[in-house]
Amino acid sequence: MRLPPQPFLRVILLRSAVIWIGVRLAATVAVRLVPELPGAEPSPPYAVAPPVIAAVIILTTALTWLDCARHNEILFLTNLGVSRRTLVFFAGLLPLLCSVTVAVLVRL
Amino acid sequence: MNPLLAVESIGKSFGKRRVLTTASIWAQSGKVTVLLGRNGCGKTTLVKIAIGLMKADYGVVIYHGQRMLRPRLHQLARDGLFYLPERNLLSPALTIGQHFRTVSRLVRDSNVDQALEMLRITDLLDRKQRALSGGERRRCEVAVALARNPRCLLADEPYLGIMPTDAELITRAFRELASQGCAVLVTGHEVRTLLALADEVLWQTAGTTHHIGTVEQAAEHHQFRREYLGSIQ
């Protein structure tokens, strides 16, 4: 597997982190707006259901990919032999780690 | 003729609009092949199909003896192909120098110093592409292609909207690549510049391509002169 070198990797990871913060906050607000069922146990603040977590990761990865394509980084790196699969992996890596970390922390 | 890259009998439609019917292009080692054709005739589409950025309805791509129905750019790139798009190769988030450091990190036999010198961009390395003029940006993009030291270069409209002095440097770079054995394919409209560069001429019209031959043969090709060159000699 040919990896994207440091300056490109930093840009991709930073971008995915910023996008993840935005998407995760939006998801949290959206979930809070939905009224809880009567009699249901109140969930901890900032907690979202696993399907929402998965949706946040997928949406963040897709938005990061689109932003990298808009900034020509995908074309530049694939032109140097880095596969699209590798780039998708790095676009989704930080959202996955952050989502899992937050999910664990809010449940503690 | 044994081309390094051959894109054969390509057909492509966008909805009901048929852009390509039986278009073919090829690039031979050590030669510069020029693809001419009017605006919107499908040159960029054909090049994008050649590198897998677009899917053909039918046809085949043969690179380095390997037949591919759906090529992938990263696989072609690992085998020495470089695609220079019409615009937007460089990231606006990074400096020009960071792009060249990336090339030297990913490509073992890269040729960065020669590329920087030949395209005269040594003093632009600390800048980002937004701070460059169109011609400087184009020189940087061509320098990346040269630095990558490709076996095959596909350059889509590299002379679009640049000064004659920049065009001269770019022509020198393409000729240098061809002299090192690279198969160069260039598309565009700048007839005088492109014919001065070409070893072989292809003409794309009405969804198909015609092999015109050498520049001398192109000048004598009746239909090509009448329908494309006009009064240009």
CA distance B74 to A26: 35
CA distance B126 to B120: 14
Token pair belonging to B148: 């990558």
ipTM of the assembly? 0.93
CA distance B127 to B5: 35
Residue ranges of chain B with per-residue pLDDT less than 70: 231-233
State how far the alpha carbon of B108 is from the alpha carbons of A80, B30, B90, B101, B149, in Å.
11, 21, 20, 12, 10
Contact B214, B208 (CB under 8 A): no
- Specify the pTM: 0.92
Residues A66-102: b if buried by 16+ CB within 10 A, e if exposed: ebbeebbbbbbbbbbbbbeebbbebbbbbbbebbeeb
Q: How far is B90 from chain A (nearest CA, A)?
A: 6
CA distance A7 to A79: 16
pLDDT by residue for chain A (108 residues), tens only, comes to 789 999 999 999 999 999 999 999 999 998 888 777 777 777 776 778 899 999 999 999 999 999 999 999 999 999 999 999 999 999 999 999 999 999 999 876
* B106–A2 C-beta distance less than 8 A: yes
CA distance A91 to A4: 11
Contact B122, B143 (CB under 8 A): no
pLDDT for residue B231 = 67
Q: How far is B70 from chain A (nearest CA, A)?
A: 15
Q: How far is B102 from chain A (nearest CA, A)?
A: 6
pLDDT for residue A60 = 98
Best mutation site among B47, B102, B146, B152 for testing chain A: the one with the most A CBs within 10 Å?
B102
CA distance B212 to B37: 12
User: Given CB atoms, is B196 within the 8 Å cutoff of chain A?
Assistant: no
Helix (H) or strand (E) holding B80: none
Mean pLDDT, all residues of chain B: 94
* B82–A76 C-beta distance less than 8 A: no
* A5–B106 C-beta distance less than 8 A: yes
* A73–B91 C-beta distance less than 8 A: yes
Q: Which residue has the tokens 């937007």?
A: B88
